[in-house]
Structure 1
Amino acid sequence: MTPSNVNLRPRDLIGYGINPPKVAWPDAARVAVSFVVNFEEGAEYSIADGDSRNEAVYEATERLESVPDYCLQSHYDYGTRAAWWRIMNLLDAHDIKCTVNACGLAVQRSPELAKDAVDRGHEISAHGWRWESHAHLDKSAEQNAIEKTVNAITEATGIPPVGWHTRSSPSSHTRSILMDRDHFIYDSDFYGDDLPVILSRPDGTPYVVLPYAFDTNDMQFHHAPRFVSADDFSDYVSRAFDWLWREGEETPKMMTIGLHLRIIGRPARMWALEKIIEHIKSRGSAWITTRENIARHWLSATDR
């Protein structure tokens, strides 16, 4: 397949259309499944940490705007103190390798968790220096944020990240900055398909865009009245997988399941994660792997 010059800017409203690529996943899998564990705790904005504002997205509904919010802070602390080990042990029990989307400051503050992920065979992808949108960052500020994120991950794990994912919207510069760094082979700043897309760097070499998803994502527990119980999440994700599995008999599909330490890691919600894993495995014909593996396979399979 010839690499596309299509980027999110300008928009491509057609995509693969009626003729999606006939790429074979390993072992004739119908769906490539990517579990993404977002590691953001310690990178959220907090007046108690010296920032000018508090993060507004968390379990409690009350918002404190001008004073330290220790309630918010401890909600995020739960992710690294308790939920990390619960999630990682469950993934180990089912032999699941995930991608950890890690904010640079979170890694700098808890480097032992990043190292633990790599020791378990998971991928660490870059998720910004702070847990913030890049939409309003100027190019020099964004380059600095990306540089600091890469340095923090590399220092903690010894491995520079090959993937990137911005919280919410990237800027108009994000992808070009990433493309200029040879170690990045993909980003996940795209929600417009069920298949990866290959773009061309300025030097003509390929670069992969992997689709991400907000619906098959535990963040919906924070947006009532969407997911309330564990069954809400597991049923929704399982139905999404089943539909892609059906389509995958004819053409490959990719599915992302987004998780957050402080959200899915609560005891009542862990049942959902286990049910999702068991359902996908019972169906069969699924390649559960890291985003790096998916990106590299897509590159090799379409380089013909």
Structure 2
Amino acid sequence: MTDPHTWDEATWRGKVEAIRAGRSLLPKTWPDGKRCAVALSFDSDHETNELRDGGNSVARLSWGEFGARRGVPRIRRVLDTYGAKASFFVPAVSALLHPEEQRSLSQDGHEIGLHGWIHELNTGLDIDTERDLMLRAADTLEQITGTRPVGMRTPSWDYSPNTLTIAREMGLIYDSSLFSDDDPYEIMQNGEPTGMVELPVEWIRDDAVYFMMNRFGAQRPYTPPADVLDIFLREYEGARAEGGLFLLTMHPHVTGYRSRIFILEQLLERITNDGDAWIATHAEIAQYCADQVNMTPIGLT
């Protein structure tokens, strides 16, 4: 590949414009006159973070098992306490390792969304391999839960030049891996509307960036849990003030500890006490936003 400083305008502009944010899909009103929408999501990576990297560390595999063994049950207790439904993005291998977890969550009204096959990095795959893994993942989640996923979150929010094309071939209604806005928008591909909703993410609203560590390097958690709660609350307050979307990403093996689960508890306590937020799954929010403008996915074959 030539050095980027040698590219002509068509080259650098083509890379930027391949996938862009289109029209805003922020609705004029939320259901039942609610002031804002709240989308809680949990990336149930479990053992796949280590399996993707070779599966040689038994300790890291056990860390993933903690997410299923202790993290998810604690999270579910909090969600049940406040009557909140959430979206769980699950790699297919995680679902195969913990099928009853996914069945039970789905039966309780939570969403199970696509999150890759084994938490692979899409930018390292060719299009045929990426397509095969996404299709196999969708088939696996459908076989386990009885419901085919309608939306995706790419593992590590790693989006290849082919990811959107494959998602459109699959007829997905939404993605939640991109960063172009705070609120829902329509994804554009090569200057054309796709009819696909983006529910944008942000590292600020992700627990992992505050609590993850590198056991062999200098990276250590640097933000106290109370400060993380403060950040999340400020993001929620901003969405509430603007009438927008507050979307939060958490991980069972990160937040599901005794010293951290209070973040989710106090956040939901505040949101429910305010009483004017629509707490819904990603699929429900994406479909509502699409319905307000009579938008349907423009699939590819």
1:179 equivalent in alignment to 2:187: no
Identify which of 18, 22, 47 aligns with 1:10.
18
CA distance in 1, matches of 2:25, 2:95: 38
CA distance in 1, matches of 2:163, 2:169: 10
Checking the alignment, whether the CA contact within 8 Å between 2:20 and 2:188 is kept in structure 1 is no
TM-score (norm 1): 0.82
How far has the Cα of 1:217 moved from its partner?
Answer: 1.5
Checking the alignment, whether the CA contact within 8 Å between 1:104 and 1:130 is kept in structure 2 is yes
Deviation string, structure 1 residues 31-69 (Cα, Å, up to 9, x no partner): 2111001111132234xxxx7635xxxxxxxxxxxxx32
Matches within 5 A, 1:25-174: 25-46=30-51, 53-54=54-55, 68-167=56-155, 168-174=157-163
Identify which of 271, 274, 282 aligns with 1:283.
274
How far has the Cα of 1:198 moved from its partner?
Answer: 2.0
CA distance in 1, matches of 2:246, 2:187: 20
SS at match of 1:41: coil
Alignment gaps of 5+ in structure 2:
1-14, 214-218, 296-301
How far has the Cα of 1:92 moved from its partner?
Answer: 0.8
CA distance in 2, matches of 1:145, 1:243: 37
CA distance in 1, matches of 2:93, 2:84: 26
How far has the Cα of 1:213 moved from its partner?
Answer: 2.0
TM-score (norm 2): 0.83
Deviation string, structure 1 residues 169-217 (Cα, Å, up to 9, x no partner): 21111111110113x1111121110111124799987221111122111
CA distance in 1, matches of 2:221, 2:278: 28
Checking the alignment, whether the CA contact within 8 Å between 1:39 and 1:102 is kept in structure 2 is yes
How far has the Cα of 1:254 moved from its partner?
Answer: 0.9
CA distance 1:205–1:238, change in 2 (3 Å): closer
Checking the alignment, whether the CA contact within 8 Å between 1:229 and 1:269 is kept in structure 2 is no
SS at match of 1:45: helix
1:4 aligns with none
CA distance in 1, matches of 2:116, 2:221: 27
CA distance 1:207–1:157, change in 2 (3 Å): same
How far has the Cα of 1:132 moved from its partner?
Answer: 2.6
Deviation string, structure 1 residues 246-300 (Cα, Å, up to 9, x no partner): 122xxxx111111101111111101111011111122232111100011110011
SS at match of 1:146: helix
Checking the alignment, whether the CA contact within 8 Å between 2:45 and 2:94 is kept in structure 1 is yes
CA distance in 2, matches of 1:110, 1:8: 39
CA distance in 2, matches of 1:225, 1:301: 44
Q: Kindly, what percent of the aligned residue pairs are identical?
A: 25
Higher helix share goes to which structure? Answer: 2
CA distance in 2, matches of 1:52, 1:22: 41
2:28 aligns with 23
Structure 1 vs Structure 2 CA RMSD: 2.6
Alignment gaps of 5+ in structure 1:
1-6, 55-67
Checking the alignment, whether the CA contact within 8 Å between 1:179 and 1:201 is kept in structure 2 is no
Q: Residue 241 of structure 1 aligns to which amino acid in structure 2? A: Y
Checking the alignment, whether the CA contact within 8 Å between 1:23 and 1:302 is kept in structure 2 is no
Larger mean Cα displacement after TM superposition, 225-234 or 132-141: 225-234
